[in-house]
Structure 1
């Protein structure tokens, strides 16, 4: 317990977890009184798995109408959302849509969250950027098929705005799914690259939120219902369990996707990480990863991964007690704070390499001339920069980027 915590914790109204639990959904939807829903997914799942067909048939038996939208895409855009809104409303033919179901990775879940806002009235999604204006979105069921993003427990949707090629956020606690259904069997067929990127994303969410700004110091800007509000004993509890599972299973599941126990462990680790960062928030890793993505257009998991060891190296000095704990959670054993501050970033960089991801910015494809732009772009993500618990954030970001380019950690010989 930490008596200084100012906890504002939000989670899905219902968590349904376990292998095969997808079969429970039609009965649950019926019990909640929902009668007409939209299932948001993509063509891979309609063409290559039985999951969509099985749900539609089981729902029909219970007199639940399902409109399938399978036009989901990686990094969905505002244009896609508006086109999907018009298409689904046309298919509804006057029926009242009363819920949305998302099946897929973070991109499909983000699109579904946006549709929860746009489907009732047909407005463009840009109307809801910054503040959803007290609108009550449709209830959402999120069924993740990857073990990493944690979108099934978070308050926001990230979309690409094609007009300026930037990412925009639609955020409100009302967008957190009413039901998060985590069935590890959905992840069994994930290819190694997706498994690795998702796994390191989950681990980053856990460790970054474990070390982020305290809830008592977090700037909530006077918001009565903030989406993020800093770390607390409660968020750290979930982060610890997520990191423990990642330390045991993240690399082995990448190396052998048939490990069912490991698949289940990583599905749970992803959710636990989301329950941590979904209230605590994140900081420098994600802020700088967004800057890398703007230059390389590489996956979110890998852009997080290449920065993570160097951010840990920077933050160790202000989180000595946590690093002692991290050393134990990550399997390094009992260490002093000084030993842990060197060993933890080294271990994390080792894992990044084992996941087939470049371990420095130069190998990742970033030119030296672009480093200052990276620092500037990272600092421009103000919410994340303000949550980095160091005295001089701009100077810290610059040190992180330079060390990441050189591939140099304090623990290197």
Structure 2
């Protein structure tokens, strides 16, 4: 029990999970009074799976009309969102749908979240970047097809601004889905590389939120309805369960995509991680990974994976007890805490390598000369940097980046006495 917690916890309004659960959706949508919907997906799901047509036909039998937009892409841009807004308005004759359904990975769900805002008045999505949503978004129903991003339980939509190739966020608790429906059968189509990327993303979400800044001291900027508010006993409970599931099922899922028990386990791991980080927030792994992705254009899961073991090592001085707990989850028993933590870092790195993901920055093609600029770019993501629970964030970031380049685990973290960044 953490009696000093200041809890602000915002899960989806409805969470439905189980193999075949998608069959429940048409009748539920009708029961809730929706009649004119938009389904956001991509060409793979609209043309190569039966799921879109099955839903549209069954929803029609329930009295719900559904327009399908299948222009989703990986890393959707603000331009795509604005173009889709115009296209959908034209196709619907100016009528605004009364709900939006997202079918796909995190990219499709992010696009759908943004459209929940832009479709009301046709305003460009840039007007919502960096601010509260302000106006009421359309109700969102999220059907994730990967086990990793957790977008079905989080308050933000991430888009790429093509004018400068940076990622921008639209953030508001009102963007959390009204219904998050997790059907493990959706993930059966995921190839091994997608399974690995998504699975490591889920593990990263769970570990980062388990170790992040406490809710009692988290900087909420006096926001009355913060999207992220630090770790608490609630978020840590979900994170711990997610980590246990990832330790048990991630490699199994990667090795055999037909292992339905492992697929279900990783779907649960992804949701539990999202319920944790969706309120607690993240920190250095994602902060540095964003900078690595900008330099290498590698996937989100891969860039997270490369940084994760080295960030863990940097927390030895401030999260020793929790790191030893994580070591036990991974089956590591050691009398000495430092030995247990070092073994944990190595075990996580071994897991990453076992699912075909590089384990150091050199393997991603990052030159040594790029490290200072990479570190500064990572520190510029201030909402993540300031949540990293170490005495000196700037020095810790520089040390982590250097270790990740050298592939160096186990050395004593750099001790610095300057104020944190």
- Answer yes or no: same fold by TM over 0.5: yes
CA–CA separation in structure 2 for the residues paired with 1:22 and 1:406: 46
1:346-385 map, 5 Å: 346-385=346-385
In the alignment, structure 1 residue 164 sits paired with structure 2 residue 164: yes
Verify the 8 A CA contact 1:324 1:336 in the aligned structure 2.
no
In the superposition, relative to structure 1, how do residues 372 and 87 fare at CA in structure 2: closer, same or farther (>3 Å)?
A: same
Other-structure match for 2:293: 293
Aligned-residue Cα RMSD (Å) equals 1.1
Give TM-score scaled by structure 2 length: 0.96
What residue ranges of structure 2 are gaps of 5+ in the alignment?
413-421
1:150-299 map, 5 Å: 150-299=150-299
In the superposition, relative to structure 1, how do residues 411 and 379 fare at CA in structure 2: closer, same or farther (>3 Å)?
A: closer
Give 1:323 shift.
1.4
Other-structure match for 1:62: 62
In the superposition, relative to structure 1, how do residues 42 and 287 fare at CA in structure 2: closer, same or farther (>3 Å)?
A: same
- The runs of 4+ residues in structure 1 deviating greater than 3 Å are 333-336
Verify the 8 A CA contact 2:290 2:303 in the aligned structure 1.
yes
Q: Secondary structure at the match of 1:119?
A: helix
Give 1:62 shift.
1.0
Give 1:117 shift.
0.1
Verify the 8 A CA contact 2:368 2:405 in the aligned structure 1.
yes
In the alignment, structure 1 residue 308 sits paired with structure 2 residue 278: no
Question: Alpha-carbon deviations, 1:342-379, whole Å to 9, x = none?
Answer: 11101001011101111111112110000001110010
Give 1:95 shift.
3.5
Verify the 8 A CA contact 1:247 1:331 in the aligned structure 2.
no
Other-structure match for 1:36: 36
Other-structure match for 2:77: 77
CA–CA separation in structure 1 for the residues paired with 2:15 and 2:247: 24
Question: Alpha-carbon deviations, 1:32-78, whole Å to 9, x = none?
Answer: 10000100000000110000000000011011110100000000000
Q: Secondary structure at the match of 2:317?
A: helix
Other-structure match for 2:419: none
Range with greater deviation from structure 2 (125-134 or 174-183): 125-134
Give 1:411 shift.
6.8
Give 1:256 shift.
1.1
- The aligned length equals 412
Give 1:335 shift.
4.6
Range with greater deviation from structure 2 (127-136 or 233-242): 127-136
Give 1:96 shift.
3.8
CA–CA separation in structure 2 for the residues paired with 1:153 and 1:109: 10
Verify the 8 A CA contact 1:324 1:335 in the aligned structure 2.
no
CA–CA separation in structure 1 for the residues paired with 2:404 and 2:73: 31
Q: Secondary structure at the match of 1:170?
A: strand
Other-structure match for 1:126: 126
Other-structure match for 1:390: 390
Verify the 8 A CA contact 1:305 1:352 in the aligned structure 2.
yes
Other-structure match for 2:418: none
CA–CA separation in structure 1 for the residues paired with 2:122 and 2:96: 13
Other-structure match for 1:105: 105
CA–CA separation in structure 1 for the residues paired with 2:406 and 2:132: 43
Verify the 8 A CA contact 2:296 2:365 in the aligned structure 1.
yes
Give 1:334 shift.
5.8
Q: Secondary structure at the match of 1:123?
A: coil
CA–CA separation in structure 1 for the residues paired with 2:166 and 2:349: 29
Question: Alpha-carbon deviations, 1:238-279, whole Å to 9, x = none?
Answer: 000000000011111111111100000001100000000000
Give TM-score scaled by structure 1 length: 0.98
Q: Secondary structure at the match of 1:267?
A: helix
Question: Alpha-carbon deviations, 1:302-340, whole Å to 9, x = none?
Answer: 000000000001112211110121111122246542222
Q: Secondary structure at the match of 1:317?
A: coil
Range with greater deviation from structure 2 (62-71 or 89-98): 89-98
CA–CA separation in structure 2 for the residues paired with 1:371 and 1:62: 57
What residue ranges of structure 1 are gaps of 5+ in the alignment?
none
Verify the 8 A CA contact 1:288 1:307 in the aligned structure 2.
yes
Range with greater deviation from structure 2 (147-156 or 94-103): 94-103
Range with greater deviation from structure 2 (335-344 or 250-259): 335-344
Q: Secondary structure at the match of 1:79?
A: helix
Give 1:135 shift.
0.4
